[in-house]
């Protein structure tokens, strides 16, 4: 986690040096570092629309009175964004579909694995700290469908999460 935070700080420092760059730069593509565990590629379609795709990787280890557990999860997502305003502080609505897989190991118990699909709708703001670097935050609602399996059987699960939140830093070129 410290490495990720240091990397994010380095990226902000390096790309904020571009603040003196020409404002008329065309921003057709972007790369985002999302919530300390995701990497996304963005394609700007026009002044008010963008599409993107990316991957998220998580590694979890916990220890409590029930024992130790560890797990990995992987997900891929695609999304579209509509900008309501487009300036240094832009407002947007975001739609995203996500497909993921996770596997967990428990001390003294069976391993489990799950696959899931999520649909997210969120509202957010994107602030350009330089002509090519932005930082954003968004919040919204998520619907999730998953199927998990372990030695004890298979479970189907549906849930709705509100609010879901997210932050990202993006470099455009």
DSSP 88: S
Which among 172, 135, 131 has a CA at the least distance from the CA of 35?
135
Give the β-pairing of 29-34 and 38-46. Answer: antiparallel
Per-residue pLDDT of the chain (173 residues; tens, 9 = 90+): 555 555 555 555 555 544 444 444 567 999 999 877 899 999 999 999 999 999 999 887 777 666 777 889 999 999 999 999 988 999 999 999 999 999 888 776 778 889 999 999 999 999 999 989 999 999 999 999 999 887 778 888 899 999 999 999 999 99
Determine the structural domain holding residue 20 and report its residue range.
2-172
**Domains held by the chain: number:** 1
DSSP 36: T
User: What is the model's pTM?
Assistant: 0.77
CATH assignment at residue 49: 2.40.160.20
Return the H-helix or E-strand segment holding 163.
strand 153-172
Is there a contact between 99 and 76 (Cβ–Cβ < 8 Å)? Answer: yes
């Amino acid at each position: 986690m410290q490495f990720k935070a240091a990397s994010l700080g380095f990226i902000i420092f390096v790309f904020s040096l571009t603040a003196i760059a020409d404002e008329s730069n065309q921003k057709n593509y972007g790369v985002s570092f999302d919530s300390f565990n995701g990497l996304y590629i963005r394609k700007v379609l026009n002044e008010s629309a963008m599409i993107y795709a990316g991957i998220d990787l998580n590694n979890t280890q916990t220890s409590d009175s029930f024992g130790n557990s560890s797990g990995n999860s992987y997900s891929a997502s695609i999304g579209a964004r509509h900008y309501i305003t487009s300036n240094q502080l832009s407002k947007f609505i975001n739609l995203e579909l996500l497909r993921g897989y996770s596997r967990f190991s428990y001390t003294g118990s069976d391993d489990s694995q799950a696959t899931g699909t999520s649909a997210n709708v969120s509202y957010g703001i994107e602030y350009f700290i330089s002509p090519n670097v932005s930082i954003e935050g968004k919040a919204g609602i998520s619907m999730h469908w998953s199927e998990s399996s372990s030695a004890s059987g298979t479970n189907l699960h549906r849930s709705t999460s509100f609010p879901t939140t997210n932050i990202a830093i993006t470099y455009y070129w």
